């Protein structure tokens, strides 16, 4: 089946620093999604990507759909304490509504 | 837009009882809803895919007789954990894919989750 490798697994950064995380897939995806999950809550959609090469921003967040369609990255600029949480990438293949999830990147921001 | 609710948010029950969890898309219609299970510090594990008006499709290893899914309308899906046991304790999350193309049918919007504890 499809596998997603998400890295890094966890990050500790100083407030104000930029953050970058990425996901790579063993197969091609038609959709890449980035979610943030806080403790005891469901994942919240941050950015959705639907075309290879697409670069999309949402405030301080920027994500790109890799040209090969097998990877995506998420950048967070000028991190703040409320950025703390677990970030998941997810992808969907052609003709499929099902998502394959990465294992998550746990972000900790030191004030 | 694209808000999904779940009820209850937390439930504690005795072993052997059944628990029903509701998932509603509040401001959009969804032909497809998904049910996930998440263990502490782990990613989401898909349990089943639910389509309105038809039987749910269960992932390998998920007992369909134990986890009953009903998708009665375009805005409501329910998951019933029958004869719950302590090992069923987990965080259950639903998601919904919109019919409306402007919201993208490829995108899943998640509910806030239900914490089930079976004593």
Chain A contact for B109 (CB, 8 A cutoff): yes
Dihedral angle sign, alpha carbons of residues B60, B30, B116, A48: positive
Residue whose tokens read 């837009």: B1
- Of the partner residues A43, A50, A97, the one whose CB lies closest to the CB of residue B110: A43
A50/B104 touch (CB, cutoff 8 Å), yes or no: yes
A41, closest residue in chain B (CA to CA): B112
pLDDT band at B23 (very low <50, low <70, confident <90, very high): very high
Between the CA of residue A110 and those of A11, A14, A91, B40, what are the distances in Å? 10, 5, 30, 23
User: Which A-chain residues 69-108 have CB contacts (< 8 A) with chain B?
Assistant: 88, 90, 92, 97-99, 101-104
Chain A contact for B23 (CB, 8 A cutoff): no
Are the C-beta atoms of residues A90 and A101 closer than 8 Å to each other?
yes
Q: What is the pLDDT of residues B33-58, one digit of tens each?
A: 999 999 988 899 999 999 888 889 99
**Residue-by-residue pLDDT tens, chain A, 111 positions:** 567 899 999 999 999 999 999 999 998 999 999 999 999 999 999 999 999 999 999 999 999 999 999 999 999 999 999 999 999 999 988 777 788 999 999 999 999
């Amino acid at each position: 089946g499809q596998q997603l490798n998400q890295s890094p697994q966890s990050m500790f950064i100083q407030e104000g620093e930029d953050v970058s995380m990425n996901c790579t897939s063993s197969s091609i995806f038609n959709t890449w999604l980035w979610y943030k999950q806080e403790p005891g809550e469901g994942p919240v959609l941050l950015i959705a990507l639907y075309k290879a090469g697409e670069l999309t921003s949402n405030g301080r967040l920027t994500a790109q759909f890799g040209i090969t369609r097998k990877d995506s990255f998420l950048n967070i600029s000028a991190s703040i304490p409320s950025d703390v949480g677990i970030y998941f990438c997810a992808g969907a293949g052609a003709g499929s509504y099902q998502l394959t999830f990465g294992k998550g990147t746990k972000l900790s921001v030191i004030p | 837009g694209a808000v999904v609710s779940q009820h209850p948010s937390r439930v504690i029950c005795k072993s052997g009882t059944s628990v029903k969890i509701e998932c509603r898309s509040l401001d959009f219609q969804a032909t497809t809803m998904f049910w996930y299970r998440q263990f502490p510090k782990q990613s989401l594990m898909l349990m089943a895919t639910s389509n309105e008006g038809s039987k749910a499709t269960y992932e390998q290893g998920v007992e369909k007789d134990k986890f009953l899914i009903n998708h009665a309308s375009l805005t409501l899906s329910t998951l019933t954990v029958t004869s719950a046991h302590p090992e069923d304790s987990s965080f259950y999350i639903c998601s919904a894919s919109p019919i409306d193309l402007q919201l993208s049918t490829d995108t899943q919007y998640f509910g806030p989750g239900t914490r089930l504890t079976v004593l």
